[in-house]
Amino acid sequence: MTNDDWLAATYIEHKDGLVRCAWNITRNSGAAEDAVHTAFASMAKRSKRPDDPKLFAYRSVRNAALNVQRSASRRPTLQSEFDETELAKPEAHNDADPDCDLERAIKLLPIKSQEIIELHLQSRLTFQEIGETTELPTQTVASRYRRAIEKLRSLLQDKQP
């Protein structure tokens, strides 16, 4: 891979994980794609290839998503749009569907725990990579993940008759 190709290769390899990473923060697919676009536009300005393009891309996308969310929260007219989660709309839930219970249980977790769970299970990042992306120690990430899974189990068991 030449020095110029890392941007395209990183996008092709991790695009879905990056969109999910942004979606965890914005909870809006359009805003998540905008965050990925913004992150890649700023990454393209770099003259050198980063040491770890994957982690660099995740960190850039996460920061861009946080910026998108921050600017959205400053605009009250758009607030309702960003609060909307297409995949977790109340009307879209079917009480008979166990995945809907799971979605709702995930939403009850703290935002940071939700992000760690999603990055680990959906984007397939290791605890160390999550720690470097979110600027948290690896041990903290691992313990938050364990606590969040235990909490989810207890929430789902409470739901079962």
**Where along the sequence are the contacts to another protein (CB under 8 A)?**
4, 7-8, 11, 15-16, 18-20, 23, 29, 32-33, 36-37, 40-41, 44-45, 47, 86-87, 98-99, 102-103, 106, 117-118, 121-122, 149, 152-153, 156
CB 75, min distance to another protein, A: 22
Please, which residues have CB within 8 angstroms of residue 45's CB and are 6 or more apart in sequence?
Answer: none
Scored b (16 or more CB within 10 A) or e, 89-117 reads eeeeeeeeeeebbeebbbeebeeebbbbb
Torsion sign (Cα): 42, 18, 154, 91: positive
Q: How far apart are CA 95 and CA 148, in angstroms?
A: 22
CB 155, min distance to another protein, A: 10
Q: How far apart are CA 157 and CA 161, in angstroms?
A: 8
Nearest CB to another protein, comparing residues 117 and 141: 117
Nearest CB to another protein, comparing residues 41 and 76: 41
CB 70, min distance to another protein, A: 21
CB 8, min distance to another protein, A: 5
